[in-house]
């Protein structure tokens, strides 16, 4: 039932999102020995896949709830996405953002019409700030990743990839809060076939890796220092069961591997991506001997980065 929901969600959100292109690179194929297919969500509206889930969650709210607005806490991309999705549908969006979120992301969320409330960088700080907003506004809380409507929405990125390129042997998906990989897992099941969906995580924020190892949701002790700023959050009780049941594994990568992958994407593919997106390529490259000559999808999750401050 969740599977068909991804398809219905796709029909629902299609008017509000881009069908992002899938790109290939002969140079990266030659370097990696893989046949790579990059789903370019860096070209998505508001700069990342998050508009998909945000739009679906908003469209699923009853009219009376939409009137009071929606609220969330986010390190950046979901904030921008929710602000834009809400504006598209005439809904107010209240957003708690950590003070250490990139300035460009804060500004973008504000420019899309979001009402921003800055808070501390920890998960608890964000949750508390969101709670204050809810009490003040009566808005509906939308979690950036641990919400089944959001998961269905993010899954449409995977659905389009499978529709556009046909069967794949594997897909690498960056894992932060777990909404994207849970959605792509549902889409892969929906597509049938044998595609293995693998999470990609920084070693410095390997909570999902440890969660799969132990079978229980694990947390990062303190805010991780990884440059992949979109992947610092932890899994939730809605997406973890999906990930636990169907993910083929999680591959973790070092900061240096992330930076090198990011550099390849800029220099060889001429694409602006954020570090979190490069984590998926870095993980596929790490695992390349498993997939030599195979068809491997990479979800380039977003492109919201300050290009003047690249880490290479």
* Contacts to a second copy by CB under 8 A: 21, 23, 42-43, 47, 104, 263, 266-267, 269-273, 303, 307-308, 310, 312
Residue 53: name the closest of 155, 182, 173 by CA.
155
CB-based contacts of 31: which residues, under 8 Å, 6+ apart?
264, 268
- Contacts with 302 (C-beta within 8 Å, 6 or more apart), sequence order: 41, 42, 44, 47, 48, 49, 50, 77, 230, 273, 274, 276, 277
Phi and psi at residue 65, in whole multiples of 5°? -75, -40
User: In 204-249, where does DSSP find H-type helix?
Assistant: 207-214, 240-246
Residue the block writes with tokens 């140079």: 27
Residue 200 Ramachandran class (φ > 0 left, ψ -120 to 50 alpha, else beta): beta
Q: Respond yes or no: is residue 244 known to be catalytic.
A: no
Of 184, 256, 258, 272, nearest in space to 228 by CA: 258
Tell me how far, at minimum, the Cβ of 312 lies from a second copy, in Å. 6
Nearer to a second copy, 132 or 259 (CB): 259
Q: Which one, 219 or 312, has the nearer CB to a second copy?
A: 312
Q: Which of these is catalytic: 39, 45, 50, 232?
A: 50
**Cβ proximity to a second copy, 124 vs 270, nearer residue:** 270
Closer CB to a second copy, 258 or 272, in the complex? 272
73: phi then psi, degrees, rounded to nearest 5: -125, 140
To the nearest whole angstrom, how small is the minimum distance from the Cβ of residue 307 to a second copy? 4
> What six digits make up the tokens of 15?
């008017």
Buried b (16+ CB within 10 A) or exposed e, 161-170: bbeeeeebbb
Give least dist CB 191 to a second copy, A.
25
Is 50 a catalytic site residue? Answer: yes
Provide the minimum distance between the beta carbon of 205 and a second copy in the complex, in angstroms, as a whole number.
24
Closer residue to a second copy (CB): 24 or 292: 24
Q: Which is nearer to a second copy, 44 or 146 (CB)?
A: 44
Q: Min. distance of Cβ 50 from a second copy in angstroms? A: 15
- Min dist CB 273 to a second copy, Å, is 7
- The active-site residue out of 20, 25, 74, 75 is 75
Give the active site residues: 50, 75
């Amino acid at each position: 039932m969740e599977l068909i929901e991804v398809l219905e969600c796709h029909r629902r959100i299609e008017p509000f999102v881009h069908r992002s292109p899938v790109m290939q690179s002969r140079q990266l194929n030659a370097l990696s020995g893989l046949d790579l297919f990059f789903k370019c969500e860096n070209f998505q509206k508001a700069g990342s896949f998050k508009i998909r889930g945000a739009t679906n969650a908003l469209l699923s709210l009853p009219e009376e709830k939409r009137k009071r607005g929606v609220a969330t806490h986010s390190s950046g991309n979901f904030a921008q996405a929710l602000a834009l999705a809400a504006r598209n549908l005439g809904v107010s969006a209240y957003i708690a953002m950590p003070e250490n979120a990139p300035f460009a992301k804060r500004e973008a969320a504000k420019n899309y019409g979001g009402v921003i409330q800055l808070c501390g960088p920890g998960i608890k700080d964000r949750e508390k700030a969101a709670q204050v907003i809810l009490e003040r506004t009566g808005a509906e809380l939308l979690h950036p990743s641990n919400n089944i409507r959001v998961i269905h929405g993010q899954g449409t990125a995977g659905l389009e990839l499978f529709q556009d390129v046909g069967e794949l042997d594997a897909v690498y998906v960056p894992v932060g809060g777990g909404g994207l990989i849970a959605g792509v897992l549902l889409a892969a099941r929906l597509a049938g076939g044998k595609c293995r969906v693998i999470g990609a995580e920084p070693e410095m924020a390997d909570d999902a890796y440890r969660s799969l190892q132990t079978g229980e949701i694990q947390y990062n002790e303190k805010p991780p220092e990884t440059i992949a700023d979109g992947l610092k959050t932890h899994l939730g009780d809605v997406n973890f069961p999906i990930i636990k049941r169907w993910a083929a594994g999680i591959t973790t990568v070092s900061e240096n591997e992330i930076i090198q992958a990011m550099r390849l994407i800029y220099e060889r593919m001429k694409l602006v991506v954020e570090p979190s997106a490069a984590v998926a390529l870095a993980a596929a490259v790490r695992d390349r001997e498993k997939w030599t000559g195979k068809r491997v999808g990479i979800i380039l999750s977003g492109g919201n980065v300050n290009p003047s401050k690249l880490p290479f």
